[in-house]
């Protein structure tokens, strides 16, 4: 991240090197709230996908169980 | 005080929703991130949102931080990319620029925390802020990336999509203008 000084006609601004604005006391809480929102959204999405997968799986299982060939087999077995 | 690397490990190993270790990282680096976001975006109101988004991005990518570089360097890269993307999005929008000093000063007025900063420090900060704000975006952004963040000319040139010699020229001009205006302030 450093270049040779001879590349620079005008020397760097010293004042900017350690320049920071005053800390904002509520900033950490603000970040935490945002992280919680993201985590909650992620959990909800995960839960919805899981429910969707389970529903689809049960639906397919029911479909397969009621296929005509299965019915035929069942009759033959009887 | 714990090192950044230790805090990153603690934050990764913490249970979901336990932000104690990450909070320490936010406390340590918020000043640097907020300052950069403020002067790259050139907008006080956007800077808090941008800084917040930078930390959220960092949190969800902590596992990608392999400790090859310092945490400060890593978060600076996330911050610069995020702020430059924000600037690009802003350029695509037409908006009214409302320069209302009472709005831009608001966060300072709400800062009721007792700090040890002297009036002299505050005055110096104010002068630097005013000088940076008076520079055009073309000069201000590369200057911040170089003299605040310590990026190389090549990295600045790549990130801004400007030629290397043009980048050097802009930084040189920005420093000259900064010095002149800072003296006047």
Owner of token pair 């917040």? B52
The answer, yes or no, to whether residue B98 has pLDDT greater than 50, is: no
pLDDT-derived band at A72 (thresholds 50, 70, 90) equals low
pLDDT for position B113: 43
Task: Name the pTM for this structure.
Answer: 0.74
Owner of token pair 């009759």? A75
Backbone angles phi, psi at B68, to 5 degrees: -70, -35
Q: Which token pair is B72? A: 């400060």
Q: Please give the span between the terminal C-alpha atoms of chain A, in angstroms, as a whole number.
A: 81
The ipTM is 0.73
Say yes or no for a CB contact (<8 Å) between B23 and A39. Answer: no
Closest residue in B to A22 (Cα–Cα):
B31
Tens digit of each residue's pLDDT (9 = 90 or more) over B100-123:
443 344 444 444 444 556 788 888
Secondary structure class of B135 (helix, strand, coil): coil
Q: Which token pair is B28? A: 């340590």
DSSP string for B86-118:
HHHHHHTS-------HHHHTHHHHT--S-----
Cα B154 from Cα B16, distance rounded (Å): 39
pLDDT for position A21: 87
Owner of token pair 């909070």? B23
Chain A residues touching chain B at CB-CB below 8 Å: 1-3, 7-13, 15-17, 19-25, 27-28, 30-32, 34-36, 38-39
Say yes or no for a CB contact (<8 Å) between B151 and A35. Answer: no
Question: Considering Cα of A61, then A65, then A66, then A67, what sign does the dihedral take?
Answer: positive
From B128, B96, B122, B95, select the one nearest B109 (Cα to Cα).
Answer: B122
A5–chain B nearest CA distance, Å: 11
């Amino acid at each position: 991240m450093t270049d040779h000084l001879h590349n620079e006609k005008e020397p760097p601004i010293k004042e900017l090197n350690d320049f920071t604005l005053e800390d904002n006391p509520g900033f950490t809480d603000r970040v935490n709230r945002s992280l919680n929102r993201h985590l909650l959204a992620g959990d909800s999405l995960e839960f919805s996908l899981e429910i969707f997968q389970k529903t689809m799986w049960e639906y397919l299982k029911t479909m397969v169980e009621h296929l005509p060939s299965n019915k035929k087999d069942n009759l033959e077995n009887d | 005080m714990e090192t950044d690397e230790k805090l990153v490990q603690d934050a990764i190993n913490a249970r979901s929703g336990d932000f104690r270790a990450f909070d320490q990282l936010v406390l340590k680096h918020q000043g640097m991130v907020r300052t950069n976001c403020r002067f790259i975006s050139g907008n006080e109101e956007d800077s808090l949102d941008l800084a917040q988004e930078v930390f959220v991005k960092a949190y969800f990518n902590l596992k990608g931080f392999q400790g090859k570089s310092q945490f400060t360097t890593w978060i600076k890269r996330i911050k610069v990319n995020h702020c430059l993307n924000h600037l690009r999005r802003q350029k695509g929008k037409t908006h009214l620029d409302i320069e209302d000093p009472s709005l831009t000063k608001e966060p300072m007025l709400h800062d009721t925390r007792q700090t040890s900063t002297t009036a002299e420090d505050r005055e110096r900060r104010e002068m630097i802020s005013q000088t940076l704000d008076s520079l055009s975006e073309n000069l201000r952004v590369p200057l911040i990336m170089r003299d605040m963040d310590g990026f190389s000319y090549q990295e600045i040139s790549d990130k801004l999509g400007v030629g290397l010699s043009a980048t050097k020229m802009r930084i040189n001009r920005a420093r000259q203008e900064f010095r002149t205006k800072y003296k006047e302030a």
